[in-house]
Structure 1
Amino acid sequence: MRASRLITILLLNALGVMLFLSWYLPPDHGFWFGIDKAIFYGFNNQMVDHHGFAVLVAITNFRGFDVVSLLAMGLLYLWFWRRETPQGRRRMLAIGITMLLSAVILNQLGHLLPVQHSSPTLFFENVHRVSELTGIPAKDASKDSFPGDHGMMLIIFTCFMWRYFGFRAFLAGLIITVVFALPRVMAGAHWFTDIAVGSLSVVLVGMSWCLLTPFSDKVVNWLNRSLPGKYKPHA
């Protein structure tokens, strides 16, 4: 591994650690709490003033709506899949499995952080729950919201798209991340910092070692050789 690559990894690790500590160390999370509170009440008040907005928030936080985010990621992946040779598609399958395994492992490691954080709908008193405003059984609360699982999965997907499919794929993944992570914040199921600090800091540390070293390529190549089916690469 080149020295410049190692320096990049260490810088990303330092950025991730500093981002987390900027939230974790100050009393009441320092300036981050003001940002979190303003964002939460901004959306929470809008749901009362505009019923249509509350319905939109409820629908996008309904459990079944998660399928739409998976569909969006799948369609982006399909766009590249259709342009590949059979051998390339086999490798894309290996990349997808590696991505999924990385997301599961990193998510579990993220929950080892010494943080127990309830969502703003459970932290503040006299707040409006979108499920009560609309009658739609939406996810609008969590007893342990840090780091944001959903946001972390989306960010990891975006990182893999950038690493293996280029900058335009990264931009498309970034749009998907914002569109499908935002509803959790609007509903108050997550603080803004659950994603912008929690999910992002874990990904900065974990994905840098996974994607900027030979590790992910070795896993992809091993899966490509080991998975059953046709078009296996030659030894």
Structure 2
Amino acid sequence: MKKLFIPLLIVCLVWISWLSPYTRPLWDLLDQKAFNLLNAWIHKSPFWQNFWAFTGHRIMDYIHDLIMLLFFFFSIKWASKELKKRKVAELIFSTLFIALIIWFLNGPLAPDFLHFRRDSPTIVDKTAFRLSSVIDWIKVKDRSHKSFPGDHATTAILFTCLIFHLMGKRAGAIATVYAIFFCLPRLIAGAHWLTDTLIGSASIAIVATTLAFATPFANRCITAIEKKLGSQLQNKGISMKRKNQ
């Protein structure tokens, strides 16, 4: 029960502190300080301007997808013969789980139902450096009227939480480092505030994975997928035998 209630309690306390008029100024100060620090990274360096412009582009999404798949590829490759089907089932479950959360929670629920239509730093802060003002060879996302929460950050943190649950602490630590890099381009460019990630995206990821793995839900889904894979492989083997005969 601790695995279920402790993460949810922490998320609730963080949200209370973010919504409270007494502690919200501290969060807003953190947002502004973090943005000033990260945005200053690209003020004068053409190299970093081009680097972060590219890493924040849609093309990079395919590279991120490939890197996330590599975690599962090596997990399947290094698993024992008895566990390989289970690992494939975990990959299928994780892909569907992330897609569902992004589509449902980040899509209609956060901006429309919860009414957190929040402007990004480059819209609020008139002194912000706009990366799109110096980069014209690629489309740069450096502003948003719906910055809370961020889809990229939600994907990255969901992925990290899944890796911790499915592959352990060592793989989870590597995934955490990767997730930080995944989130940085939009924070540096000013498309999102830090709390869009820390409060919005992280809360969604932690609550979703806690409810999935601290209850029988994830295990039952993965087991069902594993059985389906087993039956399909068995049927394929039988049909191949009949062809050979």
TM range, normalised to the smaller chain? 0.7 to 0.9
User: Alpha carbons of 1:164 and 1:30: their partners in 2 closer, same or farther (altered >3 Å)?
Assistant: same
Question: What residue number does 2:215 align with?
Answer: 213
1:60-209 correspondence runs (5 A)? 60-85=55-80, 87-107=82-102, 108-110=104-106, 111=110, 112-135=113-136, 136-209=138-211
- Give deviations 1:184-203, integer Å, cap 9, x for gaps: 11111111111111111222
Count how many residue pairs are aligned between Structure 1 and Structure 2.
Answer: 227
How far does the alpha carbon of each residue in 1:32-69 deviate from its partner, in whole angstroms, 9 at most, with x for none?
11111112122323322222221111111111011221
In structure 1, give the amino acid aligned to 2:96. L
Q: Give the distance between the partners of 1:64 and 1:215, measured in 2 at CA.
A: 34
Residue from 18, 25, 29 that aligns with 2:13 = 18
Residues 130 and 140 in structure 1, CA contact (< 8 A), matched pair in contact too:
yes
- The answer to whether the 8 Å contact 1:99/1:156 transfers is no
Whether the aligned pair in 1 keeps the contact of 2:76 and 2:88 (CA below 8 Å) is no
- Give the Cα–Cα distance (whole angstroms) in 2 for the partners of residues 157 and 134 of structure 1: 30
Contact 1:69 1:176 in 2 (8 A): no
Runs of 4+ in structure 1 displaced over 3 angstroms? none
TM-score between both structures, scaled by the size of structure 1: 0.88
- Mapped to 2, the partners of 1:72 and 1:105 lie a distance apart of 20
The C-alpha deviation readout for 1:74-107, integer Å capped at 9, x for no partner, is 2222221211245533222221222122223333
Whole-angstrom distance in 1 between the partners of 2:196 and 2:72: 27
Larger Rg, first or second structure (1 or 2): 2
What amino acid is the match of 1:153?
A: T
**What corresponds to 1:230 in structure 2?**
233
Matches of 1:13 and 1:129 in 2, distance apart? Answer: 37
Structure 2: state its 5+ residue gaps.
Answer: 236-245
Question: Using a 3 Å threshold, how does the CA distance of structure 1 residues 22 and 105 change in structure 2: closer, same or farther?
Answer: farther
RMSD: 2.1
Measured in 2, the distance between the counterparts of 1:72 and 1:154 equals 11
SS of residue matched to 1:140: coil
Aligned equivalents of 1:28 and 1:149: distance in 2?
A: 26
The SS at the match of 2:215 is coil
Mapped to 2, the partners of 1:65 and 1:128 lie a distance apart of 22
Q: Within 5 Å, which residues of 2 pair with 1:33-44?
A: 33-44=28-39
TM-score normalised per structure 2: 0.84
State the Cα distance separating 1:133 from its structure 2 match.
1.3
